[in-house]
Chain A
Amino acid sequence: MVDANASYVRREMLPAQPAPIATGNIAGWIRVNLLATPKDVVLTILALAVLAAVVPSALNWLFIQASWLGSDRSVCATVVQGGIQPDGWKGACWAFVKDRFVQFLFGRYPIDERWRPILVTIMFIVLLTPLLIPKMPRKGLNAVLLFIVFPIVAFFLLHGNAFGLDRVETPLWGGLMVTLILSFVGIAVSFPLGTLLALGRRSKMPVIKTLCVTFIEVIRGVPLITVLFMANVMLPLFLPTGWTIDNFLRALVAVALFASAYMAEVIRGGLQAIPKGQSEGADSLGLGYWQKMRLIILPQAIKLVIPGIVNTFIGLFKDTSLVSIIGMFDLLNIIRLNFTDTAWITPVTPITGLIFAGFIYWLFCFSMSRYSAFMERHLDTAHKR
């Protein structure tokens, strides 16, 4: 029964559809990414309005109106306030940052001895750079130099009192130098200590496990300030009478212990993600506990938690700013100290200084997070498609 008329197949051609809207050019990109729906149009207009209100005045304040040159407060104050700027002037006071820049870097470190922190910085960069580049050989030697030899050399260089170098007391240390020393020591101590704590927490020995759990949970449960206060006030009480402990060292101990507890939890996360078969496989090869951990478990576990580890480092770097509360002059505190300096006291000095400090912190933390993202891609050998 074939009916020629009852066809379900279309006989005539349909008219050609219009070509899809081009998205390759700029207009197309704008249409897709900014004006896709009426809601997007409203949002885009709102966002543009906010940007138009904020960005020009911010740029104006930061760069155009800002005073860049000068050696005292007059360049950053209006006539009424005793300066040279016209009435109603508002702008950043970069001259202040420029004038005090060296102090922001070194604190009150004696001027004649400043070659010492500079030399330490150069050594640090020379040792750190090859460690960060994956292709560079001899990572083991490099790490030993950076984490064991370098701190010792740096201590004698900075502190002096040996090899004919003058002694520079730690209260004179300050600025970015202190922030970096605290972070470096915190990182160098918290990584191995945190690993040990994480292993201890997963240990089958109840005494060791309880100790590690208590330490980790107590430290993680309280704010860093209380740990700093504890180190500052209670460490001297803990020591036998007559012993003293340097203020700087107290802060170092507090920061390092605090970071270790957080590091331990991050590494424990990695350890828990390693299948039991890996451990059993190592056992069946006859490896001892430490061999098993060093060669089989930890390399896999740590690779998994690199983002978490770097986050802890970033947190540690930011947390070093808290030492200002116990009276140390790190980057943030040395900048704040200068707000009250009569040579630079103006209404715009504090906010300029804080923006500068924020920029420095941001620079370090943001580079660390970018580097961690890079390493994550680089080490992602297992799941590549």
Chain B
Amino acid sequence: MTDHAIRVSSHRGEPRVSPIYDPKVRSIFFQILTAVVVVLVTWSISHNVSVNLARANIASGYSFLAGRSGFDIGFAMISYSSDSTYGDALLVGLINTILIAVTGIITATIIGFIIGIGRLSKNWLIAKLCTVYVEVFRNIPPLLVIFFWYSGVLSSLPQVRDSLKLPFSMFLNNRGLAFPKPVWGDGASLISVAFLVGIIATLAIAMWAKQRQMRTGKQFHTIWVGIGLILGLPLLTFLALGAPLSFDYPIAGRFNLSGGSVIAPEFVALYLALSFYTAAFIAEIIRAGIRGVPKGQSEASFALGLQPSTTTRLVVIPQAMRIIIPPLTSQYLNLTKNSSLGVAIGFPELVSTGGTTMNQTGQAVEVISIWLVVYLTISIATSLFMNWFNAKMALVER
């Protein structure tokens, strides 16, 4: 077939390929073609958008962020009222997204570790129970788990009048969990300073202990000293200041509880659902990671005379971590993205407050661009961390 393409040049005696069959020419041609198509499509889309927006009398731009929002948010970590701006509303949403992500990640990791290790247990019953957990939660949509907690479990809680009384003056009803609000007295900020000092001191001791171990081989009980410092220092400060803490107790009224803090059921439902759902995936990752460490590794360490606990801590876990961390991070990212499902039960996270803003102002393009930027920033930050981590943890070979 290619015979027709090659014309033997009489001058140089070597075959000259027609430019149509030259890979370089083809490559440039296809790229230019693609670029032209993309530019044309983008141009026509932006033209259509501007025409459509003009017809709908919507001004583009981000100036709407400074306007008064006029809607209330039930669950805000910073001070917010309906007089605040749209920008504040989006900020409240972002903070709630981060809050749900952080708390969910911590809980999901704990549950996931327990279930993952449970699936590897030699105890048949425990292994089977953990398998059932994983197979159930992996195969149903996260949205359904959220609804299950929200309209299945939490809304069947009693009304405010018949609140369940829990210990420590806590109340549980279908408006959430009310608990005593700690009110810190004078000098309470010193406690957090003491906490920070404890962490820094522990880090310093850990570095010193590692250097000493490298030099002399002597080990140091960093863990216990560290726990003592991190917990003990704030506790001592607290006692030295004369325990500057009082509680604002929730009091059951006729129709409502007054005082105290309330965790909204929306938060609890989203938090529990995302934790339980993601834990199933984390459990599988943990299991795969631990099983990915060859048996010879632990056998070799037994042969060196290491105790089983030391073997697990110093030989198996560090190598399993290399397998576990990358998919674990992507599960953390998934949990963060799934927190956007809060919009379905009215939890005011970024997509929810953004959606309300979009409905009120009609600034669809702007709000969606804010969403994209926020989520992409989180994703890119995570993948940068991952690249750094992979480079640090990669096997160093000759």
Binding site for B on A (CB under 8 A): 33-34, 36, 40, 43-44, 47-48, 50-51, 204-208, 211, 217-218, 220-226, 229-230, 233-234, 236-241, 314, 318-319, 321-322, 324-325, 332, 336, 339, 347, 350-351, 354-355, 357-358, 361-362, 365-366, 369
Say whether B27 contacts A36, CB under 8 Å.
no
Say whether B344 contacts A33, CB under 8 Å.
no
Give 1 or 0 for each of B345-389: 1 = CB within 8 Å of chain A CB: 000000100010010000011001001100110111000000000
Q: How many B residues have CB within 8 A of the partner chain?
A: 56
CA distance A226 to B338 in the complex (A): 11
Which of B139, B364, B372, B376 contacts A237, CB < 8 Å?
A: B364
B142 within 8 A of A: yes
Given A43-B125, A358-B144: 10 more A-B contacts, CB < 8 Å: A43-B121, A47-B129, A207-B35, A225-B341, A226-B372, A230-B368, A322-B143, A324-B143, A354-B147, A357-B144
Name the A residues within 8 Å of B27 (CB-CB). Answer: 204-205
Say whether A366 contacts B135, CB under 8 Å.
yes
With contact pairs A208-B31, A237-B364 given, residues A229 and B380 touching in the complex (Cβ less than 8 Å): no
| Distance from B340 Cβ to chain A, minimum over Cβ atoms (Å) | 4
Q: 8 closest pairs, A vs B, by CB? A: A221-B379, A365-B139, A33-B124, A351-B152, A318-B141, A223-B337, A207-B31, A321-B141
Closest to B152 in A: A351
Say whether A332 contacts B141, CB under 8 Å.
yes
Say whether B351 contacts A225, CB under 8 Å.
yes
| Distance from B99 Cβ to chain A, minimum over Cβ atoms (Å) | 16
| Distance from B380 Cβ to chain A, minimum over Cβ atoms (Å) | 7
| Distance from B119 Cβ to chain A, minimum over Cβ atoms (Å) | 13
CA distance A356 to B135 in the complex (A): 17
B122 within 8 A of A: yes
Within 97-150 of B, Cβ neighbours of A (below 8 Å) are at: 121-126, 129, 135-136, 138-144, 147-148
Can you list 14 residue pairs at the A/B interface with Cβ under 8 Å? A40-B123, A44-B125, A44-B126, A225-B351, A229-B371, A237-B49, A238-B45, A322-B341, A332-B144, A332-B147, A347-B156, A354-B152, A355-B152, A369-B139
Stretch at the interface among B50-58, B198-206, B229-237: B50-58
Say whether A241 contacts B48, CB under 8 Å.
yes
| Distance from A16 Cβ to chain B, minimum over Cβ atoms (Å) | 30
B256 within 8 A of A: no
| Distance from B66 Cβ to chain A, minimum over Cβ atoms (Å) | 22
Give 1 or 0 for each of B290-301: 1 = CB within 8 Å of chain A CB: 000000000000
Say whether A222 contacts B375, CB under 8 Å.
yes
Which of A47, A223, A241, A354 contacts B351, CB < 8 Å?
A: A223
Say whether A218 contacts B376, CB under 8 Å.
yes
With contact pairs A36-B122, A361-B140 given, residues A229 and B155 touching in the complex (Cβ less than 8 Å): no
Name the A residues within 8 Å of B135 (CB-CB). Answer: 366
Closest to B377 in A: A221
Which of A51, A238, A351 contacts B148, CB < 8 Å?
A: A351
With contact pairs A222-B371, A237-B365 given, residues A336 and B147 touching in the complex (Cβ less than 8 Å): yes
Closest to B142 in A: A318
B153 within 8 A of A: yes
Say whether A43 contacts B123, CB under 8 Å.
yes
Name the A residues within 8 Å of B310 (CB-CB). Answer: none
CA distance A221 to B373 in the complex (A): 10
Say whether B143 contacts A358, CB under 8 Å.
no
CA distance A318 to B135 in the complex (A): 14
Say whether A318 contacts B151, CB under 8 Å.
no
CA distance A301 to B147 in the complex (A): 39
Closest to B340 in A: A223
Name the A residues within 8 Å of B121 (CB-CB). Answer: 43
Number of A-B contacts (CB under 8 A): 160
Which of B34, B138, B147 contacts A208, CB < 8 Å?
A: B34
Say whether B31 contacts A206, CB under 8 Å.
yes
With contact pairs A229-B368, A365-B140 given, residues A351 and B156 touching in the complex (Cβ less than 8 Å): yes
Q: Which secondary structure dominates where chain A touches chain B? A: helix
With contact pairs A36-B123, A43-B126, A241-B55 given, residues A321 and B144 touching in the complex (Cβ less than 8 Å): yes
B184 within 8 A of A: no
CA distance A223 to B378 in the complex (A): 11
Say whether A314 contacts B148, CB under 8 Å.
no
Name the A residues within 8 Å of B151 (CB-CB). Answer: 336, 339, 350-351, 354
Name the B residues within 8 Å of A236 (CB-CB). Answer: 52
Within 46-77 of B, Cβ neighbours of A (below 8 Å) are at: 48-49, 51-53, 55
B30 within 8 A of A: yes
Which of A34, A221, A354 contacts B123, CB < 8 Å?
A: A34
B343 within 8 A of A: yes
Name the residue among B31, B32, B35, B38 with the largest chain A CB count within 10 angstroms: B31
Say whether B49 contacts A238, CB under 8 Å.
yes
Name the B residues within 8 Å of A239 (CB-CB). Answer: 48
Say whether A314 contacts B139, CB under 8 Å.
yes
CA distance A133 to B31 in the complex (A): 42
CA distance A207 to B37 in the complex (A): 12
| Distance from B280 Cβ to chain A, minimum over Cβ atoms (Å) | 12
Say whether A218 contacts B138, CB under 8 Å.
no
Say whether A361 contacts B126, CB under 8 Å.
no
Which of A225, A230, A237 contacts B343, CB < 8 Å?
A: A225
Name the A residues within 8 Å of B144 (CB-CB). Answer: 321, 332, 354, 357-358, 361
CA distance A221 to B336 in the complex (A): 11
Name the B residues within 8 Å of A204 (CB-CB). Answer: 27
Name the B residues within 8 Å of A321 (CB-CB). Answer: 141, 143-144
Say whether A222 contacts B337, CB under 8 Å.
yes
| Distance from A305 Cβ to chain B, minimum over Cβ atoms (Å) | 15
Say whether A218 contacts B372, CB under 8 Å.
yes
Which of B38, B155, B340 contacts A225, CB < 8 Å?
A: B340
With contact pairs A33-B123, A339-B151 given, residues A362 and B140 touching in the complex (Cβ less than 8 Å): yes
| Distance from A362 Cβ to chain B, minimum over Cβ atoms (Å) | 5
With contact pairs A207-B34, A332-B147, A354-B151 given, residues A233 and B368 touching in the complex (Cβ less than 8 Å): yes
Name the B residues within 8 Å of A369 (CB-CB). Answer: 138-139
Say whether A226 contacts B30, CB under 8 Å.
no
Which of B49, B139, B340 contacts A366, CB < 8 Å?
A: B139
Closest to B49 in A: A237
CA distance A355 to B147 in the complex (A): 10
Within 164-201 of B, Cβ neighbours of A (below 8 Å) are at: none
CA distance A366 to B391 in the complex (A): 36
Say whether A358 contacts B148, CB under 8 Å.
yes
CA distance A233 to B367 in the complex (A): 11
Closest to B121 in A: A43
Closest to B51 in A: A241
